Structure 1
Amino acid sequence: MTVKRRSVPARQDGRATRWAGQRERRRREFVDAALKAITEHGPHVSTQQIADRAGVPRTRLYRHFNGKADLAAAIAERVIEQVVVELDPVWNPRGTPMEMIELAVRTHVAWMAEHAAIYQYVINIGGEAGASAYHDVKVAVSGHIAALFREYLHASGGDTTAAEPAAYGLVGFVDAATTRWLEHPDEQTREELVRKLVDWAWLLISDTAAKSGLELDPHQRLPTPKELRAQHATR
């Protein structure tokens, strides 16, 4: 016997679409409430505190998330979105080498300092999803810097093999040093930390570049790779 499939009326499809949109909107609202609760209560915030901040019973909160792990993953995803936006100086470097370094370092340290509880939540409470998401951001930042560094070293006729380890080492160093400072903020001010990190970052970058034949002036406009290639061709 052949069974005919009933077509779904367009009106019903429309209701399903609207419901999906409302559900996604509510999830985002709950994540917003969770970020505020984390800031208020710290990284070990309870689900009840998040529900209280959202103004709903805890049972209603879990109608939109498949348990605590799903909620933590959604929070981590939103935080990573914010981090990517905040790191615009890394994706779009401009100015002199020293200005680029300082802006990137200062932005990173400022975000970590001003969102310490959220950072700790993502890394320690957000489970595998949180740690993995933050790791992916560091890999993306490192890869972006490595590609930029490699392009400049190649344009100057230098050895490009140093680009990747230098970039990954630099990002890991700045991130680890900032994390350590968050645990012991009384040892030095944020500004003192930024100044040290900028100086150390410059030493690593300038030394790596110099050994590959690329001399950088920290306070002069960074020439484009095309300009570097032209300079190298006339030598």
Structure 2
Amino acid sequence: MPHVPHVPRPRVPGIDGRSLRWESHNAERREQVLAAAVELLEEQPPGAEIHVQQIAERAGLARTVVYRLFNSRADLQRAVQLRVVEMIRGVLEVNFELTGSADEIIRGIVGSYVDWVAEHPQLHDMAERELGDGEPGELERAIDVLGKELSELLQAGAALLDNDLDDTLIAMLDLLVVGLIGQVRGAVNQWVRRPDRTPSARTLTGLLSRWIWYQIDGQARELGVVVDPTRPIEQARV
């Protein structure tokens, strides 16, 4: 048998095993830092600043390590804000289903937001902060996505009521959703800053839910559609 010379396998550029392990280790430490920052925020009054040294100590890391994991203090703040926004989205999105009546759907979405803010005012304050780096805050980015998802939910509801919306009506619906989100956000921002938190979270949820329904109902009636908000959505057309 002829001798076949050994030809070394060419080295493929890319990430080797050691780099992957180091990347995984850094990802774990980033999670430690973000969890520590969220814990510290929960312990402070709304609006209070937390320092990198405090976060590092809570995470069990040196401050220099934190600065290696994040490009700057602004980068760390944005990462913390994104973590908080992900928490809010997680609470809201479980209610983005056309199950039950219009009243139940609206109250489910609004109530989950109001209750979360009432329980986490410090984190809500962080989500609302401007980061001062010239870029939109993570909450603003999330609201854009949230608006599209809510518009799609309303479009699906209209389809269940045998109303397929054309492009003009969808564009109008998108603006309505933007207004509804702004209304809820503005009202909750003012409410959570009140020392006595009046009215109660439950009452606020009821008020906001009714105001939202009045606007949706008014727009539907302009299109000749009358809906009973207390009946299951697929059976709600009067």
Same fold (TM over 0.5): yes
Please give the alpha-carbon distance, in whole angstroms, between the structure 2 residues aligned to 1:139 and 1:128.
Answer: 19
Q: Does 1:202 align with 2:209?
A: no
**CA–CA separation in structure 1 for the residues paired with 2:174 and 2:39:** 37
2:62 counterpart letter in structure 1: P
Quote the Cα distance in structure 2 between the aligned partners of 1:139 and 1:90: 18
Counterpart amino acid of 2:55? I
Report the equivalent of 2:190.
180
Which residue in 2 is equivalent to 1:156?
Answer: 163
* Mapped partners of 2:178, 2:63: distance in 1: 42
How far off its partner does 1:79 sit?
Answer: 1.7
**Pairs within 5 Å for 1:40-59:** 40-42=43-45, 43-59=48-64
Please, which moves more after superposition, 215-224 or 120-129? 120-129
Residues 29-69 of structure 1 deviation map (CA, whole Å, 9 limit, x = unaligned): 11001100111124412222212221233223222222211
Counterpart for residue 170 of structure 1: 180
Q: 1:206 to 1:185 in 2, by over 3 A?
A: farther
Aligned equivalents of 1:220 and 1:52: distance in 2? 54
Residue deviations 1:123-154, cap 9 Å, x none? 22644588531012212222222233345556
Runs of 4+ aligned residues of structure 1 deviating over 3 Å after TM superposition are: 6-10, 125-131, 150-155
Q: Would you say 1:39 and 2:23 are equivalent positions?
A: no
After TM superposition, list the pairs within 5 Å mapping 1:12-23 onto structure 2: 13-23=16-26
* Number of corresponding residues: 221
Task: Report the identity percentage.
Answer: 28
CA, structure 1 residues 61+130, in 2 after alignment: closer, same or farther (shift >3 Å)?
A: same
1:157-203 deviation line (CA, Å, top 9, x unaligned) = 67825412221111110111001101115232212211111111111
TM-score by length of 1: 0.82
Q: Deviations over 1:14-43 (max 9, x none)?
A: 001100111011101110011001111244
CA-atom RMSD, angstroms? 2.8
- For structure 1, which runs of at least 5 residues remain unmatched after alignment? 1-5
Larger fraction in helix: 1
User: Does 1:119 pair with 2:124?
Assistant: yes
> In structure 2, how many angstroms separate the alpha carbons of the residues matched to 1:177 and 1:118?
17
TM-score normalised per structure 2: 0.81
Code of the aligned partner of 1:30 = V
Please list every run of 5 or more consecutive structure 2 residues that lacks an aligned counterpart in the other structure. Answer: 1-9
Aligned to 2:96: 91
Aligned residue for 1:91, secondary structure, equals coil
- Structure 1 residue 84: Cα displacement: 1.9
How far apart, in 2, do the equivalents of 1:121 and 1:131 lie? 14
Residue equivalent to 1:192 = 203
Partner in structure 2 of residue 3 of structure 1: none
